Structure 1
Amino acid sequence: MTASKVEKMTATVEMVEAGGRKLRVAHWRLGERSDHPPILFFNGIGANIEAVAPLAEKLSERGFVMFDMPGTGESPDPSVPYNPFTMAWTATKVLDHLAIDTVDVMGVSWGGAIAQHFALQHPKRTRRLVLAATTAGMLMVPGKLSALTKMADPRRYIDPEYMNEHFMTLYGGMTKRPGSKAQHIGRLKPPSPRGYLYQLIAMLGWTSLPALPFMDKEVLIMMGGEDSIVPVVNGRILAAAIRNSRLEVFEDGGHLFLLTHADESVAVLREFLDAPDSPSEQRRAA
């Protein structure tokens, strides 16, 4: 196990064998006393640990765990394709390695789908669920074609000029916060072609919508009102399908509102995660 600098502060970063895969795992504050369960975070497509490290740093009162998907960041290329079922199971092996039983689960965009699947597949290890800028899978309302075509193009990670030219189309409100655009680009590391392709095909045919009415968790849904990739209506669909859910819309936020509206996002997260147990949670704990 080695310590690594992640976004100015120290996280513990290690290569972990989990479910037959080698993954680069980062975790914060697991050895510190906390009244809160750690957060297990699933990142967006192609994104590496460093892209969301600022969020992990801001949630300083609780542990935080995330990992580079196969072929992203510094995790080796996947040898075979995977799907939400196998990756959710693999995540439990990461938690086993870290001796963590129960977590609050959070996912953004592509990772929001994995987070939903994890909560449905492993309910005993999930306390609460946070879904940010995400959808119910294939049964979604698509964003603007101009944004979706650029989102699927791996040049946004590989070619800085391409990313700079199309940043507003991709991420909307990011450009409204001075310096945030350059800071975000500087944290990105391009995924491998195979890693990116396998993430794209992992969700083919997948949807959580039929199962969401059976979700027996408290769920916070966070959406950007100016998100051109995942329109806010997808959050409304999730909220309508999940009975114990709350929808929070950042009206001038784009797809990366967790970073552009960091203080506001963290305040909403804390309010939700720190709230007393609901009656249904109390019954499950009894």
Structure 2
Amino acid sequence: MNQLRQVTVLGHPIRVSVRPGSEPGPPLLLCNGIGASLDLLQPFVDALDHRIEVVRFDVPGVGGSPDPRTPYNFALLAHGVGKLMTRLGHHEYDVLGISWGGGLAQQIGFQQPRRCRRLVLASTATGALMVPAGPQVLRKMITPRRYRDAGYAVQVAAELYGGQMRDRPDDVRRFMHDQSRVGSRRGYLLQLLAGAGWSSLPALPLIRQPTLILAGDDDPIIPLVNARIMGRLLPHARLHVYSDGHLGLVTSAEELAPLVAGFLRDEA
């Protein structure tokens, strides 16, 4: 059972969901993609080993978290995440980040080496210094329209997300509109600004945590070569390429959740 609550972090209210684990151990913190509320990852949480506690949160200005008073960057947000996990009673935890949230996850791994035990990086890259998506894809990522207009989301699903969305674009309604909560336009812009100019590329060799990289073989937003670059630069990483697109963590949850659980529980 997911427990929703509001937790004040650095003076700002944050919407948080906690699914308690049935056994003791480090919880898994999920960091979502740009513009997406914590609800988007529900299929992955449902498929993940119920022995593992799962913590999700809405970034300020997204979903159920109100707009921040001032802009922020990944370093400040990672600091706030540490405060959040302390408030929830966790000193050590694992982190999974997808897309934009993968950048935040890398920042947490670098910034909190004694607290972040393991990293899972899904459908993500190294920030400003990466092999970019095509211009048509990047233009559609600048605005949050796909979160606000279900018809438009279906229209662009194949081009943006690839994988299963090429054959079943209407599924994007269920994943992104039936349950997810839409944040403000300002919140989306601040997320874009938080990642502007940021790159993990110089820091990757310094991230010492065991890392699982998950990448789709048909991801228009994050070309697969980016995952291969991260795999070479992270000292303790292994790469798993799956047959799906950018939303594979959700659309292929039944395949990827057991893989993640095995990695986190050191069963692989």
- The interval holding the TM-score normalised by the smaller chain is over 0.9
Structure 2, unaligned runs of 5 or more: none
**CA offsets, 1:190-214, max 9 Å, x none?**
2201100000000111111111111
1:41 to 25, 30, 33: 30
Partner of 2:265: 274
> Per the alignment, in what secondary structure is the counterpart of residue 7 of structure 2?
strand
Partner of 1:174: 164
Aligned-residue identity in percent: 40
Preserved contact between residue 177 and residue 260 of structure 1 (Cα < 8 Å): no
Preserved contact between residue 78 and residue 194 of structure 1 (Cα < 8 Å): no
| Matching residue's letter, 1:241 | L
Partner of 2:182: 190
TM-score by length of 2: 0.94
The CA distance in 1 between the partners of 2:93 and 2:170, in whole Å, is: 33
Structure 1, unaligned runs of 5 or more: 1-9, 278-286
> Per the alignment, in what secondary structure is the counterpart of residue 124 of structure 1?
coil
Preserved contact between residue 174 and residue 181 of structure 1 (Cα < 8 Å): no
| Matching residue's letter, 1:99 | G
RMSD between aligned residues: 1.6
> Per the alignment, in what secondary structure is the counterpart of residue 123 of structure 1?
coil
Partner of 2:255: 264
1:53 to 29, 37, 42: 42
> Per the alignment, in what secondary structure is the counterpart of residue 2 of structure 2?
strand
TM-score by length of 1: 0.89
Preserved contact between residue 19 and residue 89 of structure 1 (Cα < 8 Å): no
Deviation, structure 1 residue 171? 1.1
- More deviation, 148-157/75-84: 148-157
| 1:142 correspondence with 2:132 | yes
Deviation, structure 1 residue 267? 2.1
Partner of 1:281: none
Deviation, structure 1 residue 37? 1.3
1:160 to 1:12, Cα distance in 2 relative to 1, 3 A: same
How many residue pairs are counted as aligned between the two chains?
Answer: 265
| Matching residue's letter, 1:265 | L
Higher relative contact order (CA 8 A, sep 6+): 2
The CA distance in 2 between the partners of 1:145 and 1:267, in whole Å, is: 35
| Matching residue's letter, 1:55 | F
The CA distance in 2 between the partners of 1:17 and 1:103, in whole Å, is: 19
1:44 to 1:178, Cα distance in 2 relative to 1, 3 A: closer
**CA offsets, 1:105-134, max 9 Å, x none?**
110000000000001101111111000000
Partner of 2:241: 249
1:238 to 230, 235, 245: 230
| Matching residue's letter, 1:171 | Y
- More deviation, 170-179/217-226: 170-179
Partner of 2:123: 133
| Matching residue's letter, 1:246 | R
Preserved contact between residue 121 and residue 213 of structure 2 (Cα < 8 Å): yes
The CA distance in 2 between the partners of 1:271 and 1:34, in whole Å, is: 15
> Per the alignment, in what secondary structure is the counterpart of residue 40 of structure 1?
strand
| 1:20 correspondence with 2:35 | no
2:92 to 85, 102, 105: 102
Deviation, structure 1 residue 179? 7.0
Preserved contact between residue 107 and residue 132 of structure 1 (Cα < 8 Å): yes
